[in-house]
Structure 1
């Protein structure tokens, strides 16, 4: 093998070494925790798209559009999370299997789900994501990772908003007001 080939081969086989001022163990802890968040977001994204594709009933259009908007928001988060993990020198998720091993948001493989159950399940999942994000914020704050903490604060707000919209969409009219 030529010297140039060895140099090129060693360059592409070296560990990811993005420079960061975070201590290595702090960056590793944050990277592991944020990969779990990333897995949760991918799981919630896919469930939200699943419900978007399979919703039916008298509120079809409203729920279909709501789920699509929320799925788009979740998908946008994935790149921000993955890039943040890479900025601190850590590797990100590499496969569906990796997501499945880390996710804490449960899948829903049911053939049919009542629209009201879709709303309730996605609301609960967004609340679970909010809880997990707050736990992640505790860690990033402890390690003084201000940038990741700042992202997390925005993601908490987004998850709370999604949960609120899902809650309001599921509310039944109050007959006492009529």
Structure 2
């Protein structure tokens, strides 16, 4: 059945392409945060182990909400690792050491990259008359800004 929500099919198609890239970025960042949780070592292991767990929990909720937004717009969400790796702007590279500072710096760069992507696309969705997605990604941007602040606060 056709999705009739006041956004043209062309605009929904155009907007969903960027949401699929966002979903891929979120999934790669989630995976990298899980890696940090599992593999962090050092004097601050327990504290950072719990911190990374809290962060990947938030990212898990974000991933689900982005996929559901794609479905709301009448499309299927990409859902394979191959799809995510083809769509993401993030890299899988990781620091050589498994220390918390290395993981934090790496994750911070990725959060900031996603923040910039979101900020650059708020007006894009408004121009498509997709005010729901514009509002949705504004909220995601605020969430990532807070998560980035939390990461940044560990390395000051």
TM-score normalised by the shorter chain: which range applies?
over 0.9
Does 2:43 match 1:48? no
- Cα distance in 1 for partners of 2:44, 2:95 equals 20
Q: Give the counterpart of 1:156 among 122, 136, 141.
A: 141
State TM-score, norm by structure 1: 0.82
Give the 3-state SS of the residue equivalent to 1:58 in structure 2: coil
Worse-superposed segment, 39-48 or 143-152? 143-152
Q: 4+ residue stretches of structure 1 with deviation over 6 A?
A: none
Gaps in structure 2 of 5+ consecutive residues: none
TM-aligned CA deviation for residue 110 of structure 1: 5.9
TM-aligned CA deviation for residue 61 of structure 1: 1.7
TM-aligned CA deviation for residue 116 of structure 1: 1.1
Does the 8 A contact of 1:18 with 1:86 survive in 2?
A: no
Query: Residue in 2 aligned with 1:10?
Result: none
TM-aligned CA deviation for residue 24 of structure 1: 1.1
State TM-score, norm by structure 2: 0.93
Q: Give the counterpart of 1:32 among 17, 23, 47.
A: 17
Does the 8 A contact of 1:38 with 1:78 survive in 2?
A: yes
TM-aligned CA deviation for residue 54 of structure 1: 0.3
TM-aligned CA deviation for residue 135 of structure 1: 2.0
Does the 8 A contact of 1:20 with 1:89 survive in 2?
A: no
Query: Residue in 1 aligned with 2:80?
Result: 95
Gaps in structure 1 of 5+ consecutive residues: 1-15, 172-178
Does the 8 A contact of 1:39 with 1:102 survive in 2?
A: yes
TM-aligned CA deviation for residue 133 of structure 1: 1.0
The superposition leaves residues 127-154 of structure 1 with CA deviations (integer Å, 9 ceiling, x where unpaired) of 0010111122121111121111111111
Worse-superposed segment, 101-110 or 150-159? 101-110
- Cα distance in 2 for partners of 1:52, 1:19 equals 42
CA 21–58 in structure 1, closer or farther in 2 if over 3 Å, else same = same
Query: Residue in 2 aligned with 1:145?
Result: 130
CA RMSD of aligned residues (A): 1.6
Does 2:56 match 1:64? no
Residue correspondences, number:
156
**Largest Rg, 1 or 2:** 1
